[in-house]
Amino acid sequence: MTKTDVTLVHSLGPEAGKYGIPDRFTYPFRYTPAPVTMLAAGMVLEHISACDELQAAFSEGKMLGVLVVRGQDGSTGFLAGFSGLAGGRGTIPYFVPPVMDLTDPEGHFKKEERIVSKLNEEIRKAGENPELKEAARNLETAKEESVRRISAWKSRMAESKARRDATRKAGTDSLTEERLIKESQYEKAQLKRITAECRAAEEEAARQYAAMSEQIRRLKEMRQRKSEELQEWIFRNMVVENALGEQKSILQIFEGKGAVPPGGTGECAAPKLLHYAYTHGLHPLAMGEFWYGAPSGKQGEVRLHGKFYPSCTGKCGPLLGFMLQGLDVELPDSQGTQSTGILEQHGMKARTLYEDDDIIVAEKPSGMLSSPGKTGEMSLQEILSETTGGQILSVHRLDMDTSGLIIYARNPKSQKDLQRQFERHEVEKEYTALLDAPGGRPHTESLAPAACGEISRAGNAFLQPGEQGVISLPIAPDHHDRPRQKVDHDKGKDAVTHFEVTGRGNGWIRVRFRPITGRTHQLRVHAAHPFGLSLPIKGDRLYGGSWDPAVSRLCLHASKIRFRHPSSGEEMVFESCPPF
């Protein structure tokens, strides 16, 4: 395609002028979608709803993206894209193509892919070899026999020792004592012989199994090498461009960061959209990525239909860092400013509720760090240390975007006692949150699910005032998309949250959370995940929550805390009214 071929640029319609164009391009890792971006996304949904084939291709769940662009003639339109493949296809009319077409049957990728597939088949057949299965059974039998023989002899030795001890207690002559000693020596020597025989039998069985499985090992080694070579070939040949006209391969971009590109890098919607724009003479103006189709929880990620999400940091972080060069990109959204004097954010002051020689109970504003971080921004802990002129020690944390009650210790002894209370789940915490609920239009970034029918078990259907329940979903870091967390039933840590619905209105549901555990982003994940409440917290752009300019924050507040004073043992209860 040439620079003038812009057949995939779609009109924003006659109403586009009402929405305006942002002054600066979207910062993709923390953003509020511009109205014109939402207009374009809505038009994509309408296009999909009018095509049964597209609905079928995307209904199981797919991340889509839109890029508002300006053409060389000054006209404005938008591009649409999707991540990865859809219905087994990388190229679908209406959507931008992949950065690099890997679907050509005679191309290098497909040829190498067929070799890897053949190796997979050979590994499968080798694993079904009856002789290999018999060798595996023999090895297992040898191990079990070793355990049985050694355990049986040790039991006999224990019985013999007890009998000898009883004989000695009753009194023995020298001949009897000599016999008892020889008996003990024999049993110990016999244990060594039995152990040696068992180990020899195990080693022989293991040798036979290893010889039989050597073919599989070699095949797997070859498959891994082929896969790595193919992956490197893709990243070496997948070249992207930025707004300055510079070109680099994905491999060059990641190597420049001292990193290795994860599998699938370059296949997300954002890089596909930007690459198409740059290579076709289009100037990017605004962008957004949103989920279409069934809620995603299979890989533990939080994805709900019609919700906008930031670009992933693992794959797209370094890649978009290069591709956005040359654009005037907006600064990452911040939820307030900080100072070491009187700090006021969203009508709320950072203030101390209680203070003595052992503890400080404070009210943290949204947008402020609890403890010193890597960004250099002042934390509440540092501010309190400066204002009190004394030592302030961290006991627990609140997410930066969460407001509310937090405890600090003023000496190591109190810190240790309070931390022990948290570890033993003796501290009772309550949080108040506003959840996004379908049905409200004001300030929402949710796109109507009309094209998908009943694709979500929307928590809105059963969350009525007075409803209570328990969410138990293990949580682990999403290493390819930090700082996001995900549900991980294999490697995640237990996370349990009690909830109670306390009210609801047009587009919102008020919930009281009582976390039993304290995992990172626990309440945010449990609220938004399809296997949790399936309703993100308002203002939670990390997990699909809508952004309300009137509130302009994450609507999550630590509203109550109950604990034991580390010195007096007195029960202490503090409450804080949420500012939303």
Q: Which residues are catalytic?
A: 399
Spatial separation of the C-alpha atoms in residues 514 and 509, rounded to whole Å:
16
Spatial separation of the C-alpha atoms in residues 34 and 40, rounded to whole Å:
10
Spatial separation of the C-alpha atoms in residues 385 and 171, rounded to whole Å:
75
Burial string for 318-333 (b: 16+ CB within 10 Å, else e) reads bbbebbbebbebbeee
Spatial separation of the C-alpha atoms in residues 66 and 160, rounded to whole Å:
81
DSSP E strands in 299-425: the ranges are: 308-309, 344-345, 348-349, 351-355, 359-364, 393-394, 403-409
Spatial separation of the C-alpha atoms in residues 112 and 107, rounded to whole Å:
9
Tokens of 253: 């971009």
Tokens of 501: 């619905």
Tokens of 503: 């009210």
Spatial separation of the C-alpha atoms in residues 37 and 378, rounded to whole Å:
34
Query: Residue 436: which of 447, 425, 428 has the closest Cα?
Result: 447
Strands 556-564 and 403-409: parallel
Tokens of 273: 């959209």
Q: Please, are residues 99 and 275 in contact by the beta-carbon 8 Å criterion?
A: yes
Spatial separation of the C-alpha atoms in residues 374 and 138, rounded to whole Å:
56
Phi then psi for residue 251, to 5 deg, are -60, -40
Altogether, the residues listed in the chain come to a count of 580
Spatial separation of the C-alpha atoms in residues 284 and 382, rounded to whole Å:
41
Phi then psi for residue 354, to 5 deg, are -155, 145
**DSSP H helical segments within 128-173, as ranges?**
130-170
Tokens of 564: 């034991």
Spatial separation of the C-alpha atoms in residues 485 and 400, rounded to whole Å:
15
**DSSP H helical segments within 66-129, as ranges?**
108-127
Name the 3-class secondary structure at 448. Answer: coil
Q: Please, are residues 359 and 407 in contact by the beta-carbon 8 Å criterion?
A: yes
CA neighbours closer than 13 Å in the CB half-sphere of residue 361: 19
Query: Residue 447: which of 3, 155, 33 has the closest Cα?
Result: 33
Spatial separation of the C-alpha atoms in residues 275 and 256, rounded to whole Å:
20
Spatial separation of the C-alpha atoms in residues 188 and 182, rounded to whole Å:
10
CA distances to 91, 151, 159, 383 from 155, in Å: 70, 6, 6, 66
Rounded to 5 degrees, what angle do the CA atoms 282, 288, 294 make?
130
